[in-house]
Structure 1
Amino acid sequence: MSNNSISVADAAQNLSEKTGAIATEAQGWIANNGLNILIASAVGVVIALALLGIRALGCRMVGRVTPGTDPRWPILFARVIAKTSLFFIILVSAQLVAEHAETPPAILQAINFLFVIAATLQAAIWARELILGYIQHRAGADDGHGTLSSAMGIVRLLVTVALFAVAIVVILDNLGVNVTGLIAGLGIGGIAIGLAAQGIFSDLFAALSIIFDRPFRRGDMITFGTFTGRVEKIGLKSTRIRALNGELVVVSNTNLLNMQLQNFAPLQQRRALMTFGTTYQIAPDLIPQLGEELKAIVEKQPNATFDRCHAFQFGASSIDFELVFHVEGTEFTAFADVRQAVMVEMMRRFAELGVEFAYPTQVTFTAAPDGRMVMPYPHVKMLAEGECGNEGQDEVPRARASGNGHG
Structure 2
Amino acid sequence: MSNNSISVADAAQNLSEKTGAIATQAQGWITNNGVDILIAAAIGIAIALALLGVRALGCRMVGRVTPGADPRWPILFAKVVAKTNLFFIVLCSAQLVAEHAETPPAILQAINFLFVIAATIQAAIWAREFILGYIQHRAGVDDEHSTLSSAMGIVRLLVTVALFAVAIVVILDNLGVNVTGLIAGLGIGGIAIGLAAQGIFSDLFAALSIIFDRPFRRGDTITFGTFTGTVEKIGLKSTRIRALNGEQVVVSNTNLLNMQLQNFAPLQQRRAVMLFGVTYQIAPDLMARIGQELKAIVERQPDASFDRCHAFQFGASSIDYELVFHVQGSDFTAFADVRQAVMIEMMRRFAELGIDFAYPTQVSFTAAPDGRLVMPYPHVRMLAEGECGNEEGAGSAGANGSDRG
TM over 0.5: yes
| Distance (Å, rounded) in 2 between the aligned partners of 1:270 and 1:83 | 48
Larger deviation: 374-383 or 22-31? 374-383
| Distance (Å, rounded) in 1 between the aligned partners of 2:130 and 2:46 | 27
Are 2:132 and 1:157 equivalent residues in the alignment? no
| Distance (Å, rounded) in 1 between the aligned partners of 2:336 and 2:386 | 59
Distance 1:382 1:71, change over 3 A: closer
SS in 2 for 1:130: helix
| Distance (Å, rounded) in 2 between the aligned partners of 1:337 and 1:120 | 64
1:27-81 residue CA offsets vs partner (Å, 9 max, x unmatched): 2222222222222222221211111111111111111111111111111111111
Residues 374, 380 of structure 1: 8 Å contact kept: no
Q: 1:363 Cα shift?
A: 3.4
Partner of 2:87: 87
Q: 1:366 Cα shift?
A: 4.5
1:196-233 residue CA offsets vs partner (Å, 9 max, x unmatched): 11111111111111111111111111111111111111
Q: 1:327 Cα shift?
A: 1.0
Larger deviation: 113-122 or 329-338? 329-338
Partner of 1:24: 24
SS in 2 for 1:223: strand
Partner of 1:216: 216
Residues 71, 141 of structure 1: 8 Å contact kept: no
| Distance (Å, rounded) in 1 between the aligned partners of 2:202 and 2:144 | 19
Partner of 1:330: 330
Partner of 2:50: 50
Partner of 1:201: 201
Partner of 2:134: 134
SS in 1 for 2:284: coil
Partner of 1:303: 303
Larger deviation: 347-356 or 145-154? 145-154
Larger deviation: 41-50 or 77-86? 41-50
The share of aligned pairs that are identical, in percent, is 89
SS in 2 for 1:21: helix
1:297-333 residue CA offsets vs partner (Å, 9 max, x unmatched): 1111111111111111122221111001111111111
Q: 1:12 Cα shift?
A: 2.2
| Distance (Å, rounded) in 2 between the aligned partners of 1:289 and 1:281 | 15
| Distance (Å, rounded) in 2 between the aligned partners of 1:33 and 1:205 | 58
Residues 146, 218 of structure 2: 8 Å contact kept: no
Q: 1:93 Cα shift?
A: 1.2
Letter in 1 for 2:341: A
| Distance (Å, rounded) in 1 between the aligned partners of 2:387 and 2:223 | 67
SS in 2 for 1:101: coil
Letter in 2 for 1:195: L
Q: 1:259 Cα shift?
A: 0.6
Q: 1:293 Cα shift?
A: 0.7
Q: 1:383 Cα shift?
A: 6.0
**Which consecutive unaligned segments of at least 5 residues does structure 1 have?**
389-407
Q: 1:284 Cα shift?
A: 2.1
| Distance (Å, rounded) in 2 between the aligned partners of 1:3 and 1:370 | 135
**Which consecutive unaligned segments of at least 5 residues does structure 2 have?**
389-405
Partner of 2:228: 228
RMSD: 2.1
User: 1:373-388 maps to which residues of 2 (within 5 A)?
Assistant: 376-381=376-381
User: 1:52-131 maps to which residues of 2 (within 5 A)?
Assistant: 52-131=52-131
| Distance (Å, rounded) in 1 between the aligned partners of 2:278 and 2:114 | 90
Residues 141, 147 of structure 2: 8 Å contact kept: no
Partner of 1:252: 252
What TM-score, normalized by structure 1, do the two folds share? 0.90
Distance 1:19 1:194, change over 3 A: same
Partner of 2:392: none
Residues 297, 342 of structure 2: 8 Å contact kept: yes
Partner of 2:348: 348
Partner of 2:313: 313
Q: 1:386 Cα shift?
A: 11
Q: 1:373 Cα shift?
A: 5.1
Partner of 1:40: 40
Residues 58, 78 of structure 1: 8 Å contact kept: yes
Partner of 1:395: none
User: 1:259-278 maps to which residues of 2 (within 5 A)?
Assistant: 259-278=259-278
Letter in 2 for 1:177: V
Distance 1:51 1:259, change over 3 A: same
SS in 1 for 2:307: strand
Partner of 1:391: none
Q: 1:16 Cα shift?
A: 2.0
Larger deviation: 227-236 or 13-22? 13-22
Letter in 2 for 1:87: F
Distance 1:144 1:205, change over 3 A: farther
Partner of 1:405: none
Distance 1:137 1:148, change over 3 A: same
SS in 2 for 1:56: helix
Q: 1:375 Cα shift?
A: 5.1
Partner of 1:396: none
1:327-373 residue CA offsets vs partner (Å, 9 max, x unmatched): 11111111111111100000000000111111122334445666555
Letter in 1 for 2:30: I
Partner of 1:174: 174
Residues 145, 152 of structure 1: 8 Å contact kept: no
1:159-193 residue CA offsets vs partner (Å, 9 max, x unmatched): 11111111111111111111111111111111111
User: 1:388-407 maps to which residues of 2 (within 5 A)?
Assistant: none
Residues 273, 322 of structure 2: 8 Å contact kept: yes
| Distance (Å, rounded) in 2 between the aligned partners of 1:143 and 1:217 | 12
| Distance (Å, rounded) in 2 between the aligned partners of 1:157 and 1:101 | 45
Letter in 2 for 1:150: S
**Count of equivalent residues:** 388
Q: 1:144 Cα shift?
A: 8.7
SS in 2 for 1:273: strand
